[in-house]
Amino acid sequence: MNEIQANNPLHGVTLEKLLNELVAYYGWEALGRKIDIRCFTQDPSISSSLKFLRRTPWARDRVEALYLDMRSRMGR
Report the percent of the chain where pLDDT is more than 70: 91
Give rounded-to-5 percent helix, strand, coil for the chain.
Answer: 75, 0, 25
Question: What pTM was computed for the model?
Answer: 0.85
Using CA atoms of 46, 47, 48, 54 in order, give the dihedral in degrees to the nearest 10.
100
Domain boundaries, the chain: 13-74
Least Cα distance to 56 among 20, 23, 15, 25 occurs for 15
pLDDT(59) > 60: yes
pLDDT band at 49 (very low <50, low <70, confident <90, very high): very high
What's the topology of domain 13-74?
1.10.720
